[in-house]
C-alpha cells in the first residue's frame, strides 16, 4: 500500500452480448441459429480489445431472454450490447428491458455491409435485424428507459470507437452506482455550489456520501510504521525532484497522512474522498494539511475534491473510470490576452497530467490556509495539448447537469511565483463565450480535467445516466 504508486489498473469494461432472434426461421432455414450465434461470436472477437465479453446464447422468446439477462446480472457486468441476430419482436423483451438497470447499447448492425445481386431469401433473413432494432427501440422509448444506439458496419473502425466510448461510459456508471465518498470532517461553510441533497444523489446516480471523523485520520497516521514511512520516502526520492528545503519532519508527516488516508479508504470501501482545510486545522492534532497526499492518491485512481466537495470527488472518480488520469482543479483567473483560464488549486493535483519535459517537484511551501505548518506540495505544470473540463451541477431534487468545455492547455511561460500545480486552459469557444455559458448553466468552481478532447465521452455518460448535458 505504501510505495506502490503505480496508476490504478482500470479493468476493461465487462459487457454482455444479447443476441435476439425468433424460432420462426428455424424450420425455414435449418442451421440459422448456429450461424447467427457464430455472427455474435465474431462481433465479440472484433471488439475483443474494447471489453471483456460474456456472450449469451441466442434468445428466441421471453423466457430465454429473461434467463440470459439473469445470468448477465449475476456475472457483475457493466452493460449489455443488444444485437438483432434476425428480426425479433420487441414484446418478448419489453418488460425485461423496462426492469433492467444495466446500461444498454442497441447495435443496429447486420452481418453483411452491402446488398448484392447474389442475395436470396436466406440472406435477407440473416440481415434483417433493422426491423427488430426499430421494434426494440420503440419499446425502450415508450418505457422511458435510457439507451445508446449505434448504426454502422460492425467491422468498421468507427463502430469499434463508438462501442468503446459506450463501454467506458457503462463502466463509469456502474462504478458510480457503488461509489462511496468519504468526507473528513465537514464541507466548507457557506460554499453553496458544492451542496447536494445526499439522498437524491444516492437515489438518482449512486454515489453515497459519508462523513469521517478527523480523529480516525489522526489515529491512522500514528499507526503507520517507520518502515512504511521510509519505503514511501524512498519511492518519492526515486520518482520526483525533492526540494532540499523540505525537512524530515515535514516529509514524515506527509507520508503518514497519505498512508493513513489510503488505509481508511481501502478498509472502508471508499474510492473517493475530500478533506477540508478548516476541518483539519481546527481539529488541533495535525501539524499540516495533506495536500501532497491528495496528489498521489489521485494518481492512484482515487477521486478527490477539496473543501468537502463530494460532488467534485465523485466527478474525479468518474473521470478516472471513463477516461483515466483525472485531475482536480478550479478556474483561478482569466487571462484575456491569451484567451485562457489559469487553472490551479491550493496544492492538490494529479501529477500524471504533468508536462513530460519537466520534473515533478515535491517542495517545501509556506501556506497560511488552515493556520498550520508548511505542507509538502507537488509542483508541476499541466501538459500542453487538448484537454476537457467537466463539472456536475445539482439542480435540486433529482435533477443534475453536466457542464463540459473542450479546449487546449497552452504551452505558456512559467509562473515562477506559483507553488502549486497549474496550467492555462484556452477553451475552444474562447474565455468570454465559455464563461458566459458556464455561469449561465450554473457550473460550479471545482472541476475535473482530463487530457484530450472528451466531450463526446461525457455526453454518452450523461445519456446513459439521465444527466442533462451542456457543452459551453
Can you tell me the mean pLDDT for 145-162?
96
Q: Give the side-chain half-sphere CA count within 13 A for 96.
A: 24
Outline which parts of the chain fall under CATH 3.40.50.10940.
14-162
pLDDT of residue 2: 45
Outline which parts of the chain fall under CATH 3.20.14.
178-471
Quick check: 26 and 3 in contact, CB under 8 A?
no
* Joined grid coordinates for residue 157: 473502425
Q: What is the 3-state secondary structure (H, E, C) of the chain?
A: CCCCCCCCCCCCCEEEEEEECCCHHHHHCCCHHHHHHHHHHHHHHHCCCCCEEEECCCECCHHHHHHHHHHHHHCCCCEEEEEECCCCCHHHCHHHHHHCCCCEEEEECCCCCCCCCCCCHHHHHHCCHHHHHHHHHHHHHHCCCCCEEEECCCCCHHHHHHHHHHHHHHHHHHHHHCCEEEEECCCCCCCHHHCCCHHHHHHHCCCEEEEECHHHHHHHHHHCCHHHHHHHHHHHHHHCEECCCCCHHHHHHHHHHHHHHHHHHHHHCCCEEEECHHHHHHHCCCCCCCHHHHHHHHHCCCEEEECCCHHHHHHHHHHHHHCCCCEEEEEEEEECCCCEEEEECCCCCCHHHECCCCCCEEECCCCCHHHCCCCCEEECEECCEEEEEEEEEECCCCCEEEEEEEEEECCCCCCCCCCCCEEEEEECCCHHHHHHHHHHCCCCCEEEEEECCCHHHHHHHHHHHCCEEEEC
Inform me whether the pLDDT recorded for 277 exceeds 60: yes
pLDDT of residue 5: 57
Burial (0-12, 13-18, 19+ Cβ within 10 Å), 244? exposed
Can you tell me the mean pLDDT for 122-133?
91
Select from 192, 250, 225, 188 the least CA-distant residue to 375. Answer: 250
Inform me whether the pLDDT recorded for 210 exceeds 50: yes
Can you tell me the mean pLDDT for 86-113?
90
pLDDT in tens, 33-71: 999 999 999 999 999 999 999 999 999 989 999 999 999
Angle at the Cα of 184 (from 183 to 190), degrees rounded to 5?
70
Q: What is the CATH number of domain 178-471?
A: 3.20.14
Q: Which residue has the higher pLDDT, 341 or 194?
A: 341
Question: What is the overall mean pLDDT for the chain?
Answer: 94
* Joined grid coordinates for residue 183: 468526507
Residue 360: count of CB within 10 angstroms of its CB: 21
55/41 Cα distance (integer angstroms): 7
Can you tell me the mean pLDDT for 199-205?
93
pLDDT of residue 3: 44
Inform me whether the pLDDT recorded for 26 exceeds 90: no
33-42, 183-192, 307-316, range with the lowest pLDDT: 183-192
pLDDT of residue 96: 86
Can you tell me the mean pLDDT for 284-298?
95
Inform me whether the pLDDT recorded for 9 exceeds 60: no
Rounded to the nearest 5°, which phi and psi values hold at 323?
A: -130, -25
Give the orientation angle of helix 455-465 with respect to helix 157-177, to 10 degrees: 50
Inform me whether the pLDDT recorded for 6 exceeds 70: no
Compute the residue count for the chain.
472
Can you tell me the mean pLDDT for 333-351?
97
144/16 Cα distance (integer angstroms): 22
pLDDT in tens, 355-395: 999 999 999 999 888 789 999 999 999 999 999 999 999 99
Can you tell me the mean pLDDT for 19-25?
89
Which CATH number is correct for 14-162, 3.30.450.20, 1.10.540.10, 3.40.50.1820, 3.40.50.10940?
A: 3.40.50.10940
pLDDT in tens, 84-97: 999 988 888 888 88
Select from 17, 106, 115 the least CA-distant residue to 65. Answer: 17
Q: Which residue has the higher pLDDT, 281 or 266?
A: 266
* Joined grid coordinates for residue 446: 471545482
* Joined grid coordinates for residue 447: 472541476
167/263 Cα distance (integer angstroms): 30
64-73, 166-175, 406-415, range with the lowest pLDDT: 64-73
pTM, two decimals, is 0.94
Amino acid at each position: 500500500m505504501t510505495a506502490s504508486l503505480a496508476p490504478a489498473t482500470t479493468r476493461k469494461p465487462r459487457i454482455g452480448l444479447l443476441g435476439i432472434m425468433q424460432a420462426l426461421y428455424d424450420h425455414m432455414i435449418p442451421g440459422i441459429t448456429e450461424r447467427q450465434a457464430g455472427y455474435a461470436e465474431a462481433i465479440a472477437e472484433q471488439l475483443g480489445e474494447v471489453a471483456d465479453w460474456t456472450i449469451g446464447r441466442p434468445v428466441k422468446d421471453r423466457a430465454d431472454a429473461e434467463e440470459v439477462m439473469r445470468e448477465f446480472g449475476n456475472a457483475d457486468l457493466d452493460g449489455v450490447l443488444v444485437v438483432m441476430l434476425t428480426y425479433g419482436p420487441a414484446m418478448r423483451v419489453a418488460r425485461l428491458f423496462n426492469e433492467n438497470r444495466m446500461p444498454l447499447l442497441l447495435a443496429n448492425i447486420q452481418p453483411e455491409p452491402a446488398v448484392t445481386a447474389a442475395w436470396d431469401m436466406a440472406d435477407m433473413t440473416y440481415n434483417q435485424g433493422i426491423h427488430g432494432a426499430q421494434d426494440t427501440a420503440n419499446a425502450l422509448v415508450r418505457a422511458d428507459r435510457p439507451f445508446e444506439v449505434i448504426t454502422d458496419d460492425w467491422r468498421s473502425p468507427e463502430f469499434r470507437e463508438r462501442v468503446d466510448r459506450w463501454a467506458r461510459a457503462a463502466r463509469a456508471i456502474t462504478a458510480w452506482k457503488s461509489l462511496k465518498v468519504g468526507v473528513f470532517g465537514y464541507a466548507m461553510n457557506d460554499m453553496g455550489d458544492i451542496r447536494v441533497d445526499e439522498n437524491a444523489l444516492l437515489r438518482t446516480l449512486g454515489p453515497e456520501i459519508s462523513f469521517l471523523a478527523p480523529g480516525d485520520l489522526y489515529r491512522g497516521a500514528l499507526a503507520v510504521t517507520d518502515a512504511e514511512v521510509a519505503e514511501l520516502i524512498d519511492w518519492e526520492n526515486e520518482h520526483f525532484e525533492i526540494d532540499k528545503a523540505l525537512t524530515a519532519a515535514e516529509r514524515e508527516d506527509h507520508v503518514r497522512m497519505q498512508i493513513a488516508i489510503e488505509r481508511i479508504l481501502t478498509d472502508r470501501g471508499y474510492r473517493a474522498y475530500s478533506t477540508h482545510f478548516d476541518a483539519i486545522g481546527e481539529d488541533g492534532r495535525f501539524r499540516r494539511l495533506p495536500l501532497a497526499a491528495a496528489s498521489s492518491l489521485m494518481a492512484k485512481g482515487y477521486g478527490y475534491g477539496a473543501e468537502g466537495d463530494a460532488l467534485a470527488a465523485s466527478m474525479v472518480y468518474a473521470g478516472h473510470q471513463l477516461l483515466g488520469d483525472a485531475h482536480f482543479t478550479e478556474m483561478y483567473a482569466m487571462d484575456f490576452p491569451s484567451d485562457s483560464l489559469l487553472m490551479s488549486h491550493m496544492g492538490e493535483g494529479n501529477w500524471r497530467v504533468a508536462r513530460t519535459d519537466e520534473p515533478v517537484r515535491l517542495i517545501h511551501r509556506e501556506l497560511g490556509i488552515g493556520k498550520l505548518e508548511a505542507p509538502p506540495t507537488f509542483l508541476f505544470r499541466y501538459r500542453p495539448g487538448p484537454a476537457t473540463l467537466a463539472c456536475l451541477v445539482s439542480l435540486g431534487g433529482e435533477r443534475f447537469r453536466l457542464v463540459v468545455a473542450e479546449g487546449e492547455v497552452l504551452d505558456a511561460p512559467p509562473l515562477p511565483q506559483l507553488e502549486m500545480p497549474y496550467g492555462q486552459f484556452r477553451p475552444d469557444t474562447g474565455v468570454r463565450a465559455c464563461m458566459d455559458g458556464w455561469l449561465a448553466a450554473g457550473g460550479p468552481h471545482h472541476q475535473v480535467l482530463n487530457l484530450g478532447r472528451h466531450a463526446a465521452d461525457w455526453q454518452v455518460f450523461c445519456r446513459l445516466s439521465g444527466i442533462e448535458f451542456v457543452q459551453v
